[in-house]
Amino acid sequence: MESGLFKNGLSCPQFVYAQVILPLKYKGEITYVVPEQMAALVDVGSRVKVDFAGRTYTAVVESLIREAGAVEALYNLGLEKGIVYKEIIEVENLRRVSEFSIKLWHEIADYYLCTVGEVYKAAYSGMVQRQEQVKMRKRPSAFFESVKEFAFNLPQLSQAQQHAFDEICGHFETGKRPVLLHGITGSGKTEIYINLASRQLAQGKNVLYMVPEIALSKQLQERLRKVFGERLLVYHSRQTTAEKGRIYKIVSGEFKDEYLRGVESSGNEKNERAVPSGVDAPNDAVVVLGTRSSLFLPFKNLGLVVVDEEHDSSYKQSEPTPRYHARDAAIMLSGIYGADTLLGSATPSFEAEYNCRIGRFSKVTLFAKYYGAQPPEVEIIDTIWACRSGQMRGSFSQKLINTVRKTLQNGEQVLVFKNRRSYSPVVECVECGSIPKCPCCNVYLSYHKYNNTLRCHYCDYTVKFNGICTKCGLDTLKYKGAGTEKIEEELKALFPEYSIARFDADIAESKREEEAVIKAFSKKEIDILVGTQMVSKGFDFEHLGLVAVLDADSILGIQDFRADERALQMFSQLMGRTGRREKRGKLLVQTNQKEHPVILELKNGTDGVATENITLIKSLLEERREFAFAPYVRMVKIVAKHKDKEKLELLCASIQAKLASVPCKEFTGPFVPAIDKVRGEWLKCFYVKFSRDSRLVENKQKLLSAMADLKAHNSIVLDVDPL
């Protein structure tokens, strides 16, 4: 390289500097020198090996500094401050990160008050890099051969669906605002998604179809595969490394590039059939069915993002950073690509409803059932009365038992909902009253009978259960309460002639068992399915005639400003799982609180009622407005943590002092969360509320700056838009 003379009179090579993003919680610019022999290989988005603080990392080049003035300024800054710019070690043989991805990382980092490096770490973990390096068994031509057919067997839309479809398309054509499809359960939202996706594929654009849970993607995958064939790709954390690597190559356009170059994707010397110069490869557009992590796929040409069940709390990542909400991040993603966004739900979130009211979203309603089914019947069983009159048999009232038997005799299936896994939530010593607790968290250990263990559901601490009390030494530990395991056991005793299975997080630990249970229930090989909230999310079971909710009070009694909203959504979703065909279904709820507002609203019926006309929702939104809670304000939850309780108090005092200078609407705290100790650290929380005005972004950044020194020591967590 040529040498030049800087203002200080020193002669210096005309370096090219690279500013990079490291997969670390580091705020600030990180600059390296690009060696002369690498200059032609390094560009924005290149992944390079660098040394940082004595360790080697794979960094992403965010920008290159070539101009003489900028190079001079950096060089002089290094001389003044004694900075020695290290050289890039090598350029990784990995596909460059697109400008779209880097822009998404920045938007997520700015909104969720974290660093770009933390977002990069989430998007491109070490596992992802290994996926990219896996050599594909299938050649690019094999992929194009499998997707050459483009005649989709699209589902026929009903008159109501067609009207909703046309409305959605109209909104997409007139503006780029996200569209909320409020379609009641069983109205056929999926058929609309499929038809919208096919339009994008025909234009050569990719589609991202998001679902909240892996389990839901299994059943949906079969429906979509019948339409899109090999153009459907499924992406979630349980995919194999090879399959994830293949998806990366397809959505990024690498398969298409390799096809046009006429070389095998495996990289060996055998050429594929020659491709004439100037001839395009076939249309390689695909539909990616994925969970929240699919947002970070390196899409090259994204045309549509569908967020199904947009209200679902599983879209929010709680650990680790970035603590993003996939629904909102999907809107950021669509904005960057200029893609359309469709949010769908039978029970829209208050945030989505609010955005429709202020004109940020457009709204389309679909209140007609696809098969013309009637809304399910709702019946409430007062368990206080049932206990007093001797009508309870274990966890079941006699009325519920009779209804289950009648449903089964009619050839229909039953879903029993219990919002707690395990056999028993706690075990207690009948002699001294001691209840075993997790040594790392301030929670009781749950008993899991299938492997005879006591387990913490927060840190996963596990110990074998022997029935002996560690306090008094007697063999007197007994089960208290009931989880899904015990409910399954009780049902097998009550209905021994029927097939009964369970579907919860313990079952979901095994991919094979999880898929087998869902498939068997869909085929009517299982008569009664016991499940947690995993079963409430969008499943379509044709022969399901009854949904029974046990211990509804465990849902109604949660102390949180979102509790009633979530409870109403949960019960409405469960109601929607039944009666999806010709026969009318039934929701039966056992509760001690038959006069609870959520229970009364369920009895009134919410199917086909516009959200603004549902009494409880109007009341809850008015309360949110009056007391300044989301969605009328932006909220940030500060979680302070320390292993020492006294030091935690000092930390909270420091946070309070710093919050006094933050221009927020108000802050509350510190308060003790429901679980005040997790993984050995004591916790306290604050809520910081910001007005939704033009200074929101600036004020949130001031909060970040005020907490910077505390956050740097991992003493606090900032959770934007907490659940």
Per-residue DSSP letters for 97-111? PPHHHHHHHHHHHHH
Residues 28, 471: Cα–Cα separation, whole Å: 53
Task: Using pLDDT thresholds of 50, 70 and 90, give the confidence band for residue 274.
Answer: very low
What average pLDDT does this structure show over 496-505? 93
Give one DSSP letter per residue of 224-262, joined into a string.
Answer: HHHHHGGGEEEESTTS-HHHHHHHHHHHTTHHHHHHHHT
pLDDT at 382: 94
Phi, psi (deg, nearest 5) at residue 351? -65, -45
pLDDT at 139: 64
Rounded alpha-carbon distances, angstroms, from residue 73 to 2, 66, 553, 647: 17, 11, 65, 44
CB atoms within 10 A of CB 67: 9
- The alpha carbon dihedral of 340, 343, 349, 354 has a sign of positive
- Torsion angle of C-alpha atoms 129, 131, 137, 142, degrees rounded to 10: -90
Residue extents of the structural domains in the chain: 3-98, 129-268+281-362, 377-420+486-621, 424-481, 633-720
CB atoms within 10 A of CB 372: 10
The CATH architecture one would assign to domain 129-268+281-362 is: 3-Layer(aba) Sandwich (3.40)
CB atoms within 10 A of CB 80: 9
Rg (CA), the chain: 28
Domains 129-268+281-362 and 377-420+486-621 share a fold: yes
Task: For residue 136, give the DSSP letter.
Answer: P
Rounded alpha-carbon distances, angstroms, from residue 325 to 23, 332, 352, 538: 20, 11, 13, 19
Under CATH, what is the fold of the domain 633-720? Alpha-Beta Plaits (3.30.70)
Report the 3 state secondary structure along 276-302.
CCCCCCCCCCCEEEECHHHHHCCCCCE
pLDDT above 60 for 12: no
Task: Using pLDDT thresholds of 50, 70 and 90, give the confidence band for residue 129.
Answer: low
Residue with tokens 């491109």: 124
What average pLDDT does this structure show over 239-263? 79
Q: Where are the alpha helices (DSSP H) in 43-158?
A: 68-81, 99-111, 116-123, 126-133, 140-146
> pLDDT tens for residues 409-450?
999 999 999 988 899 999 999 989 899 999 999 999 999 998
What average pLDDT does this structure show over 51-80? 83
What average pLDDT does this structure show over 107-112? 96
Task: Using pLDDT thresholds of 50, 70 and 90, give the confidence band for residue 89.
Answer: very high
Burial category of 454 from C-beta neighbours within 10 Å (exposed 0-12, middle 13-18, buried 19 and up): buried
Q: Which CATH number fits domain 377-420+486-621: 3.30.830.10, 2.40.50.140, 3.40.50.300, 3.30.420.40?
A: 3.40.50.300
Among 637, 630, 691, smallest CA distance to 668 is for: 637
Instruction: Answer whether 500's CB lies under 8 Å from 526's CB.
Output: yes
Rounded alpha-carbon distances, angstroms, from residue 717 to 210, 324, 487, 661, 707: 27, 13, 38, 19, 10
pTM value is 0.89
Among 355, 331, 348, 300, smallest CA distance to 176 is for: 331
Looking at residue 308, its amino acid is: D
Phi, psi (deg, nearest 5) at residue 362? -100, 155
> pLDDT tens for residues 275-293?
444 445 678 899 999 999 9
